[in-house]
Structure 1
Amino acid sequence: MFQLTASDSWTGDFLAEQGLISLKQLNEASDLVGDWGSTLPDVLLARSWIDADVYYTTLASRFGMDFVRLGDQPLDPALLSPDLVADYMRELTVPWRERNGRMVVATARPGPEAIVFVRENWGPSAEMVVTSKRDIQTAIQKVFSEHFTHAAVFDLAEQDPVMSAQTVFTPGQLFVGWGGITAAAAGLALWPVFTLIALNVLMSIFYLGNFVFKGILIWAGGTHQHIRNREIESAVRMLRDEDLPIYTVLVPMFREPDVLPILANALRKLDYPTSKLDIKIVLEEGDDETIDAAVALGLEGIFEIIRVPPSQPQTKPKACNYALKFARGEYLVIFDAEDKPEPDQLKKVVVAFQQGGDKVGCVQCRLNYYNRDENWLTRLFTLDYALWFDLMLPGLEKLGVPIPLGGTSNHFRIDVLRELRAWDPFNVTEDADLGIRMTQKGYGVRLVASTTFEEANVSQSNWVRQRSRWIKGYMQTFLVHSRRPIHLWRSTGALGVLGFVFFIGGTMLSGLLNPLFWGIFGLWAVTRTTVFNDLFPPVLLYLSLFNLLAGNGLFMFLMMLAPFRRNWLELTPFSLTVIWYWVLMSIAAWKGAWQLVTRPFYWEKTHHGLSRHTAGEVAQAVREQQAQA
């Protein structure tokens, strides 16, 4: 069990004597130091029991050091190395200036650890001054802004170009595509009926394989994870807070000031030592509205605002790449602006990493919606997510098929994330791409039964914008990872390739093809035309009817089963209306395909805060923050 160091004890007594904290706060903070395995300053600042400027000026006086504000007396950039930024951020100690031939180092943690760090890096003659944690964070961002902006955009493309979506179509892919179109055109000109039958056979077999594969996934996922979940829950109860590592939380936001209080309140409720949370609100530098809202909230010391300099492409993965350079944690998680993770999620993930070993690079948690009963779309979206995260992804894990990650609540080992060059800023569904890329690099993805609740889209036009971006990203991911089919086969196995084709390729291709087959069936049903008879010989006709009736009926039935695990049975009847949801999916697929050609890297913004629940969620978050203060 951790105890107060002599330095912390002296500092705490001094702060209490000066009336800067109460004896009750000192006693409670001292207990938390032991419970969390943390330091007294981290606890006091994390709880906002003392003003940061007051604390650091007092600290400087206590150690007989000068206090400097790096905003007024900036760092000398020539003394800093980009390779040591992670060390600077972890130790909160950074070279400041040279004075009289001696290095002067600024620290927000004066004490024995800082002295050792300074001597190891700048020698025993180095002097020390005190500054604030926030000053160090802001100053480091300013010095390395240009360098890290370039890395955030081009690191993957320069170091592992074959894995980057910066090149949309390679010459080989263009040649194969041109060859396929030419062959089809020649076939239609010379043997039209035979060619159309051949194409029909290929598409029908694809549909059948897609139905069967996803049915197997759901069967496998329905019986998976129960034993592991019980083991994780048991292990969580045995965890000691003092043994937990620092955890970085990235929250990329853009023009979303309204939902910021919901997010901040949800993160405060995480069952994790507050002083071991490294929370970074990642904002675009020109997003003044959200930046001003974040500053006005008066966020505690565990929150840090990362301002991402303007550059293209302006995407979420680029922003996360930039913020990753300043991360202090051993693990890292992405949460979206409107997310409400279950409080024990981080602890469950820590246990999952410990049980999984070094080759588990990511843990994916489940996603679903807190406004699921708001309208028809939110109900169908909830059914879709329940099927995806509660049944299909567990099936992928059980079968050892690469898992396309969700856009939020994916937790990473930071060392693995940095080894893989993090996210692809040119891929607009960067999470799915990273899941496939992680598997090809030899790292596994595990699932944990902890849910993050989000705001479901309440607007069909907004939903189409979001889904078209996702499908466009799936198209980018398919293009990237099909460039080297032999490598894909060797790195993921036959089942992995099959899963990649049906899960990534099937998701995008079915949306594109469905309108064609719906149109043929509708025209035949209305007119009873015989024009299609030659294209559907008996065996193919039966197969097509099976796909249409049995395949779609199966998916409708599975949508009915999806909410049973969460006991949301009131949603089941809405699965009968899923056909319109599929129509919206096809609209989004064609929009995504068009943008792949015309605007491949355009990040189509999904607007949050449209739900009628939002105002109530914000008001509740503000009340709880005021009560805590």
Structure 2
Amino acid sequence: MNPNSEPVEVPAAEPAPLLTPVPDTSPAPDIAPNRGAAADGGVSDTQLHSLLPDWSVGQWIGYTSMILVAILLTVIAVTTLWWMLHAWRSRDSLQRTGFSRTPRPAAESFTLLVPGRHEEEVMGQTLDKLAEQDHPDFEIIVIVGHDDPGTEAVVRAAAARHPHLIKVVVDSSVPKNKPKALNLALKSARGSVIGVFDAEDDVHPRLLSLVDSRFTETGADVVQGGVQLMNFDTTWWSLRNVLEYYFWFRSRLHFHANAKFIPLGGNTVFIRRTWLEWSDGWDAECLAEDCEVGVRLSSQGATVAVAYSPEVVTREETPGTLTSLFKQRTRWNQGFLQVLGKGEWRKLPTKRQRLFARYILAMPFLQAATGLLIPVSIALVIFAKVPVVVALITFLPLAPTIVTLAAEAAGLSEFGRLYGKKVRLRDYVRLVLGTFPYQVFLAAAAVRAVYRQLKGENSWEKTEHSGAHRTTFDTPEPQQEFAGVATSTSAAQLSTSGASS
């Protein structure tokens, strides 16, 4: 360094940052859009897989079945109880479900059709009761088989007692069934309105006058009257069968009529003859001819009025044995499947009506599916370690079931009050304890109906009658809203099958 040279100023260095970022020299991932880790923070396949339970294939199948059964039962329960309690929305709505207390003057003529096969024990009394109608213009046509001398003898004797009212028609068709008998009698009917009754029915003497008035008041094409099973205390399942009819005719059919899609009941139904002639009567190949004609008339815009007044309902009995009830329920379910396959419901004008019709008519399929999956679910609950989430979901149907039991208990109490029947504590116990067995029973009948339908087996399985419901007509109390249900109940009934004949 030269000592004579001037010192050189060195510029001060700029302060370095406390943390110097290290550049990322790793190659950028090759990520295609919508695949793998997304730039916007999406979830990768690996991350998604880590969120799913680590179940085996068998566990996935079993647990999924349990969840589906629980959800399906819950949906069926909630919707069904909503319909079941339709009439009890308010006191006014309940009062509107009944016949007028002051009927209008007669305006129609009636032909009452009564088919019977091997019904000699009950047919005579039924015809005598029908002959007591106070309407000024009606006739009774009884249809018996050519191979049923016992019933024919009883019918001929009744015709001799009421020669100006009762006419006998002999059905020679083979094989025989109810719609064939009805179609045969329709050819000789003269009334403007055709009514249908069963061989064991107890009919109130004022019924035709009230039905006639209902036609005039509403301008309806069809009037569906009330039908009520009476012998609730015979067996544990007869109690539940009686309550099915009570809620079906007292409430649910009114909901169907408002929705303009109604599977009609098998008796105490009155149809203008012009509509029956247009539809060529009843479908002779259908096991639920009442449901079928109701669907067909609904699809063509026929107006249906429903009326249930406890004092004038048609009284019937439950099937005499559990086997008989099983066959009866199988026939109804299979008939619904036939109507679903026939497709007349597709002619309903709105999408909402068509969806509603599909749901109602497909109910046997739903019951059959849940009936098959219920044992699987029970086995998994007993023998497998079920995850907490799955176990909680399986309890979903319990909530509407409890509410349903409360509604049924209230309905049983009202039934006893209206019809002068003494309801005991043991009846309420049977109601509760019979809930699950009856649902399994209904599911089994639905499975059998599907099996018969797939096999193409359409034979008619007749329900036997013994007259267990025969009593004198007591005057029930005026219609009342049963306590607590109209204002506090809003869930569903697991029993889904319609009551028809």
1:250 aligned counterpart, secondary structure? strand
Q: Contact 1:247–1:278 (CA<8 Å) still a contact in 2?
A: yes
In the alignment, is residue 471 of structure 1 matched against residue 355 of structure 2? no
Q: Contact 1:277–1:302 (CA<8 Å) still a contact in 2?
A: yes
1:555 aligned counterpart, secondary structure? helix
Larger mean Cα displacement after TM superposition, 220-229 or 599-608: 220-229
In the alignment, is residue 605 of structure 1 matched against residue 465 of structure 2? no
Partner of residue 233, structure 1 = 101
Q: Contact 1:250–1:282 (CA<8 Å) still a contact in 2?
A: yes
Residues 445-524 of structure 1: pairs in structure 2 closer than 5 A: 445-450=304-309, 451-481=313-343, 487-488=346-347, 491-506=348-363, 508-524=364-380
| In 2: Cα distance, 1:200 partner to 1:480 partner | 32
- Distance change in 2, residues 1:558/1:569 (3 Å): farther
2:301 aligned counterpart, secondary structure? coil
1:332 aligned counterpart, secondary structure? strand
Q: Deviations over 1:65-116 (max 9, x none)?
A: xxxxxxxxxxxxxxxxxxxxxxxxxxxxxxxxxxxxxxxxxxxxxxxxxxxx
Partner of residue 286, structure 1 = 147
Partner of residue 131, structure 2 = 268
1:340 aligned counterpart, secondary structure? coil
| In 2: Cα distance, 1:525 partner to 1:512 partner | 20
Give the share of equivalent positions with the same residue, in percent.
Answer: 22
| In 2: Cα distance, 1:448 partner to 1:210 partner | 26
- Distance change in 2, residues 1:200/1:370 (3 Å): closer
1:546 aligned counterpart, secondary structure? coil
- Distance change in 2, residues 1:517/1:384 (3 Å): same
How far 1:374 sits from its partner (Å)? 2.6
In the alignment, is residue 551 of structure 1 matched against residue 400 of structure 2? yes
How far 1:249 sits from its partner (Å)? 0.3
2:350 aligned counterpart, secondary structure? helix
Work out the number of aligned pairs and report it.
Answer: 402
How far 1:605 sits from its partner (Å)? 1.0
Partner of residue 382, structure 1 = 242
List alignment gaps of at least 5 residues for structure 1: 1-190, 618-629
- Distance change in 2, residues 1:396/1:573 (3 Å): farther
Aligned mate of 2:76, from 210, 215, 227: 210
How far 1:372 sits from its partner (Å)? 2.7
| In 2: Cα distance, 1:306 partner to 1:422 partner | 17
| In 2: Cα distance, 1:556 partner to 1:510 partner | 22
1:326 aligned counterpart, secondary structure? coil
RMSD (Å) for aligned C-alpha atoms? 2.8
2:291 aligned counterpart, secondary structure? helix
Q: So what's the TM-score if we normalise by structure 1? A: 0.59
| In 2: Cα distance, 1:471 partner to 1:218 partner | 19
| In 2: Cα distance, 1:437 partner to 1:381 partner | 27
In the alignment, is residue 319 of structure 1 matched against residue 181 of structure 2? yes
How far 1:259 sits from its partner (Å)? 0.7
Q: Deviations over 1:213-243 (max 9, x none)?
A: 2122134222374453577222x1x42xxx4
How far 1:346 sits from its partner (Å)? 1.2
Q: Deviations over 1:540-581 (max 9, x none)?
A: 65443202x223333333322333443267154432022222
Q: Deviations over 1:141-171 (max 9, x none)?
A: xxxxxxxxxxxxxxxxxxxxxxxxxxxxxxx
Aligned mate of 2:300, from 435, 441, 451: 441
1:582 aligned counterpart, secondary structure? helix
Q: So what's the TM-score if we normalise by structure 2? A: 0.73
Q: Contact 1:512–1:586 (CA<8 Å) still a contact in 2?
A: yes
| In 2: Cα distance, 1:296 partner to 1:356 partner | 38
- Which structure exhibits the higher relative contact order, with contacts defined as CA atoms closer than 8 Å and separated by 6 or more residues? 2
Q: Contact 2:141–2:185 (CA<8 Å) still a contact in 1?
A: yes
- Distance change in 2, residues 1:407/1:608 (3 Å): same
In the alignment, is residue 591 of structure 1 matched against residue 448 of structure 2? yes
List alignment gaps of at least 5 residues for structure 2: 1-56, 473-501
When Rg is computed on C-alpha atoms for both structures, the one with the higher figure is 2
Q: Contact 1:213–1:502 (CA<8 Å) still a contact in 2?
A: no
| In 1: Cα distance, 2:145 partner to 2:338 partner | 24
- Distance change in 2, residues 1:208/1:374 (3 Å): closer
| In 1: Cα distance, 2:355 partner to 2:74 partner | 13
Aligned mate of 2:121, from 229, 251, 258: 258
